[in-house]
Amino acid sequence: MKNMNRRKFLSVSAIVGAGAIMAPHAAVATVSAKNENGAIPTRVLGKTGLKIPILSMGVMRADNPAVVRAAYNAGLTHFDTAHGYQNGKNEEMLGEFFKDKDRSTFTIATKVKANLRSPNFETEYEEQLNTSLRRLQMDYVDIFYTHAIDSLGELNDPRLLKMLQKFKSEGKVKYVGFSTHANKPTQIDEAIKTGVYDVCLISYNFKLNILSEVDAAIQRGVDAGMGFVAMKSMTGGVEDAAGKRKVDGAVCLRWVWQNKNITTTIPGFTSFDLLDNCLEAAHRPDLDANDKKYLAGLIDKNETLYCQNCEKCVSDCSKHLPIPTIMRAYMYNYGYKQPTLSKDTLMELALGINACSGCNSCTVKCPSGFKVADKIAAIMPVVDVPYSFLT
């Protein structure tokens, strides 16, 4: 509890509540002290009308309810999970934490991937939502995203649109949205055309190489009433696979908040220190000259973890492998240190561990400098590792 006298600690303790005091002291004290300076700025999420702090919690990787508690007590109100995160344990953790909280003090988003190839898609999709609601111990979620949309054919599939509208009319979800990493401008325009989607969860960070196109599409979405939530704002959190070159997350968040069309960000902090770093940013959200200099120093480096999803590699590759998704799985493992999520992502592709077998030389030329074949070889073996050995 260094840097904090007893009087100040007691006043802060009153703010954060008894539960948070049980968490590691140094971290909680720091988090709480930052919260004394006033509320986190809020923005409205498009036509949903939801007023949300610019900082939300991406719960994806968090497995410590004390971190969720600290975030909630520090003034965060929006929490983002998914049906598949931690094999459902992520939703269960949130359910346990929020079961005795006033439902008007928080909003929850969850996501389910639509398996449109299945002949039983409708039944399966509904059962997955029902399972998520059971785990969350809630009658409804505030935002239900169809997860990781890769193509326009998915986004505007009439069966999917019908199910989303059904969930909404039954009151199981308040608003519907989609999450996407690829073809963002086209996906946003298509989503506007459907008239169904209220919210878009989009990968958005200072390294985006088609920033002006993405910003213009976001503006069109906002004009049509859609709300935008940013993810992958820290470009993977680290710059190298060894995790040694850390990215300053606070600066990355400030960069995102420059765009007033982005309502909130969902960084996936897992510790009190990382939460503190995000709160520090939220309480001083304007990007300054030093921040700009820092980001400029990162922008020209060859990428190691953050894939732009430009999809050039897919046409370069003799087997047309879904390389952007494999690169995302690589980032989950080496950037986020989440091998289970990495394995889940790869299992959906059903490629086996020898995805490149039979191909003698790699023809992919990635503009970001990724050595794609090496990364594929490094990540695919996780598919064969039993879940019990993974975190």
Does 363 participate in binding ligand SF4 (rule CB under 6 A)? yes
Does 208 participate in binding ligand SF4 (rule CB under 6 A)? no
Does 321 participate in binding ligand SF4 (rule CB under 6 A)? yes
Looking only at residues 260 through 319 of this chain, which bind ligand SF4 when binding is defined by CB under 6 A?
Answer: 307-313, 317-319
Provide, rounded to whole angstroms, the least separation between the CB of residue 354 and ligand SF4.
10
The backbone region for 283, taken as left when phi is positive above 0, alpha when psi lies in -120 to 50, beta otherwise, is alpha
Does 364 participate in binding ligand SF4 (rule CB under 6 A)? yes
Provide, rounded to whole angstroms, the least separation between the CB of residue 311 and ligand SF4.
5
Does 322 participate in binding ligand SF4 (rule CB under 6 A)? no
The backbone region for 334, taken as left when phi is positive above 0, alpha when psi lies in -120 to 50, beta otherwise, is alpha
Distance CA 326, CA 342 (A): 9
Provide, rounded to whole angstroms, the least separation between the CB of residue 4 and ligand SF4.
45
Amino acid at 144: F
Beta-strand pair 107-112/78-80: parallel
| Residue whose entry in the numeric block shows the structure tokens 């059962």 | 127
Task: Mark residues 86-125: x for contact with ligand SF4 by CB under 6 A, - for none.
Answer: ----------------------------------------
Using the minimum distance from each CB to ligand SF4, give the nearer residue, 15 or 356.
356
| Residue whose entry in the numeric block shows the structure tokens 């990540």 | 379
Using the minimum distance from each CB to ligand SF4, give the nearer residue, 8 or 312.
312
The answer to whether the beta carbons of residues 176 and 197 sit under 8 Å apart is yes
Provide, rounded to whole angstroms, the least separation between the CB of residue 356 and ligand SF4.
3
Using the minimum distance from each CB to ligand SF4, give the nearer residue, 226 or 372.
372
Q: Which of 216, 353, 362, 385 binds ligand SF4 (CB under 6 A)?
A: 362
Distance CA 113, CA 128 (A): 9
Distance CA 323, CA 64 (A): 32
Does 368 participate in binding ligand SF4 (rule CB under 6 A)? yes
Provide, rounded to whole angstroms, the least separation between the CB of residue 227 and ligand SF4.
27
DSSP for 198-243, written as a single string = -EEEEE--TT-TTHHHHHHHHHHHHHTT-EEEEE-TTTTSBSSTTS
Distance CA 225, CA 42 (A): 17
Does 380 participate in binding ligand SF4 (rule CB under 6 A)? no
Does 366 participate in binding ligand SF4 (rule CB under 6 A)? yes
Distance CA 43, CA 182 (A): 25
Does 324 participate in binding ligand SF4 (rule CB under 6 A)? yes
Amino acid at 329: A
Which region, judged by CB under 6 A, interacts with ligand SF4, from 19-27, 62-70, 238-246, 368-376?
368-376
Using the minimum distance from each CB to ligand SF4, give the nearer residue, 114 or 364.
364
Alpha-helical segments (H) within 45-201:
65-73, 89-98, 121-136, 152-155, 158-169, 184-194
Provide, rounded to whole angstroms, the least separation between the CB of residue 306 and ligand SF4.
8
The binding site for ligand SF4 (CB under 6 A) comprises 307-313, 317-319, 321, 323-324, 327, 356, 359, 362-364, 366-368, 370, 372-373, 376
